[in-house]
Amino acid sequence: MIDCPLPDADQRRAALLAEITRTEPVARRRRFLVPALAAGAVAATVAIAALAGAGLRSDPPAPVADAKPIQDLRARLDVVDRTVKPRELGFNPSDFVYVQTRTTPGTDPAGTTEIWVNEGGGSRGAILDAKGLRTTDPLLTQWKAGAPQNVVSAVKYPTYTYMSGAQGLRGNGDEALYAELRRTASGNDAIFAKVRLMLRNGGLASPAVRTWLYRAALRVPGVTVRTGVSDAVGRPGTALTLGRQVILIDPDDGSLLAESDGASGGPPGPAIVSTALVPYAGVPPAK
């Protein structure tokens, strides 16, 4: 069989070639995206790039926290610093920071614990709970008397004496404290946990030291702020959270209501119901 072209085939082919010649090549045509679509395309590209490089990161990037609650809490802490009168407390390394905690509402002795931590960190402390009164090991196994009062010492020797001394020095603001925490701790979770440790050991007795530590915690990437969170005895407060870790504070006076690693679930606790400086371990403050 012999193919016979249609009579007008050459004319139609010539017309098609002419049309293609008049049209701008697709590869050179400029394209414009609606801004929302453009942003989505960029986000998708970034997401793909992030997935491609995920295997190269040791830790995933922390989620971006809502900035306004953090800004609001910083403003509340500024008010606390201006209005809450500091207690007249000494800096005797031989004294003890006394802390009473409860795991349940009321005054049931079974849910109450009393702890004495040496202010300087070099002497044995004590604990009184359902198991009775017993001594505890010194806070610092390599205690160094006369270390300089700065953020390096405050982080290395997290005691009331060193934190109080460092916090009051010019240039040792929360930014400097956070920088030292970042230098010595491994990762955001470890930094937040170190702040909790510092609050337990020495930040409980002084309002200025507490707000100093709170502000450093707010600098940790991924930290969120939630209001209306209650502790183990039902007191509402404002929670600084990172993962399951919690620092719960009263934003009106800056007091620490509770701190927890969140491992046990439930409300943050145990609740801190009383703090003081006392001269002897095992002896509660005079009422």
Give the range with max mean pLDDT: 4-18, 183-197, 267-281: 183-197
Its pTM stands at 0.73
DSSP the chain: ------TTHHHHHHHHHHHHHHSPPGGG------HHHHHHHHHHHHHHHHHHTGGG-SSPPPPPPPHHHHHHHHHHHHHHHHHSPPP-----TTSEEEEEEESSSS--GGGEEEEEEESSSSS-EEEEETTEEEEE--S-TT--TT--SSHHHHHHS-SHHHHHHHHTSTT-SHHHHHHHHHHHSSSHHHHHHHHHHHIIIIITS-HHHHHHHHHHHHTSTT-EEEEEEE-TTS-EEEEEEETTEEEEE-TTT--EEEEE-STT-SSS-SEEEEEEEESSTT-PPP-
The answer to whether residue 124 scores a pLDDT higher than 80 is yes
Quick check: 219 pLDDT over 60?
Answer: yes
Average pLDDT over residues 248-260: 94
Q: Which residue has the higher pLDDT, 264 or 96?
A: 96
Tell me what pLDDT residue 247 has: 97
Q: Is the pLDDT of residue 220 over 70?
A: yes
pLDDT grade for 163, boundaries at 50, 70 and 90: confident
- Flag whether pLDDT at 58 surpasses 50: no
pLDDT above 60: residue 241: yes
| 18-32, 137-151, 196-210, 213-227 — most confident range | 213-227
67-84 per-position pLDDT tens digit? 899 999 999 999 998 998
What pLDDT sits at residue 38? 34
